[in-house]
Amino acid sequence: MNAGFRHHGGRLAEACARFGGAPGQWLDLSTGINPVAWQAPADVAVDWRALPDPAALARLEHAAAAHFGCPPSLCAAVPGSETGLRLVARVLGLPGLYRPPAYGTYRAAFAQAGAIADFAGLPGRATALVLGNPNNPDGHVMPPADLLALLAHQQRHEGWLVVDEAFADCDPGTSIAAEVAAGRRLVVMRSFGKFFGLAGLRLGFVIAPPDVLQPLRDALGDWPVHAAALAIGTAAYADAAWISRTRRDLVARAAALDGLLERHGLRPGGACPLFRLITAPRAGDWFAPLARRHILTRPFADHADRLRVGLPPDDAALERLDRALAEVRADG
């Protein structure tokens, strides 16, 4: 299997080259991106001829901050949360810690990044502890009180807690963005593309104290995101009706996916409705036979017992996955 499939989802061109078919013939379940994206109304105009307007950037950051529940002064737009995370790592300049399973960028972004088995073993020195909440790829959610206890530990040792909330829009009760403040060693990352289904826009946010935010803004310069991100992001964060409806719909569709997987003997795990992690002996072996049926999922390097499945966009896609799983089981 091409190692790229084990690195991250969304490699549809590689899937076509390896397993055949045109992109339109595939059902891509390899990511945790909402398959029913927010649609910009006709009055959301993008002027590609002009440089991005600083006033438009301020409007975007105010709209996003209102959505996150944090002060606008502590919220900076970045060209994707993955890029933002790498910049935060450079600003903090500390050895990183993460707890597997975890998003691969945590290890790549932070100097001397090391895995920890449990939080009881946190070192008594300055580190950047990076956690996904909900976590990718297993969908585990830590209660805010537990995160704040970890923050207290990091504060005592002059370290930082970095919470990646890329998937937190599905349930705002999981977020601690409102806890970010001057003098607190807490950074929260947010992603626009996951919940709103527009990952190609490459828009994210860093919520951080001023001593982290200012050098990050300096590194990005005067135009951190492009004109389409400014216009679309501002309008989307203001669409309260769509946000509320989508939160309900995602939970219902995730429950339908859970039922389907369980009928095929695959136990789904995770509390984030945008994806499920299947953990079972040789679960990764389902990747290739599903790909031969032009359904793309997410296997994992060095973990043959894991397979992540994204949320199908509609009933027809759910039925297609149902048929494919039945065929794979019948083939033995």
pLDDT of residue 212: 98
C-alpha radius of gyration, the chain, whole number = 20
Q: Judging by DSSP bridges, how do beta strands 298-299 and 306-310 pair with one another? A: antiparallel
Mean pLDDT of 241-269: 97
Higher pLDDT, 6 or 183: 183
Q: Work out the angle between the directed axes of helices 210-220 and 81-92 (0-180°, nearest 10).
A: 120
Burial of 171: CB neighbours in 10 Å, binned 0-12, 13-18, 19+:
middle
Evaluate if residue 3 carries a pLDDT over 60: no
The average pLDDT across 68-87 equals 98
Predicted TM-score (pTM) above 0.75: yes
pLDDT at 6 over 60: no
Q: With 80 as the cut, is the pLDDT of residue 98 above it?
A: yes
Q: Which residue has the higher pLDDT, 126 or 2?
A: 126
pLDDT surpasses 60 at 118: yes
Residue 77 β-bridge partners: 205
Give the other-Cβ count within 10 Å of 62's Cβ: 16
Which residue, 229, 64, 92, 80, is CA-closest to 162? 92
Count the Cβ atoms, other than its own, within 10 Å of residue 328.
Answer: 18
Query: Could you tell me what percent of the chain has a pLDDT over 90?
Result: 94
Asked if 250 and 37 touch (Cβ cutoff 8 Å), the reply is: no
* pLDDT score for 4: 59
3-class secondary structure, 279: strand
Mean pLDDT along residues 78-91: 97
Residues of the chain with CATH 3.90.1150.10: 3-32+241-331
**Banded pLDDT at 10 (limits 50, 70, 90):** confident
Task: Count CB neighbours of 81 within 10 A.
Answer: 25
Give the pLDDT of residue 294.
Answer: 98
- The number of helix segments (H) and strand segments (E) in the chain equals 11, 13
- pLDDT score recorded for residue 331: 87
Q: 240 CB contacts (<8 Å, ≥6 apart)?
A: none
- What pLDDT was estimated at residue 112? 86
Residues 11-33 pLDDT 10s: 899 999 999 999 999 999 999 99
Instruction: Please choose, from the candidates 61, 110, 68, the residue with its C-alpha nearest in 3D space to the C-alpha of residue 85.
Output: 110
Bond before 134 cis per omega within 30 degrees:
yes
Task: Given CATH 3.90.1150.10, say whether it is the number of domain 3-32+241-331.
Answer: yes
CATH 3.40.640.10, the chain: domain bounds: 54-238
Residue 106 has pLDDT above 60, yes or no: yes
Q: What is the CATH number of domain 54-238?
A: 3.40.640.10
Using the predicted structure, report yes or no on whether residue 5 has a pLDDT greater than 70: no
Span 293-301, average pLDDT:
95
- pLDDT, tens digit (0-9, with 9 covering 90-100), for 131-149: 999 999 999 999 999 999 9
- Give CA torsion, residues 178, 182, 184, 186, to 10 deg: 60
Q: How confident is the model at residue 8 (pLDDT cuts 50, 70, 90)?
A: low
Mean pLDDT of 273-289: 95
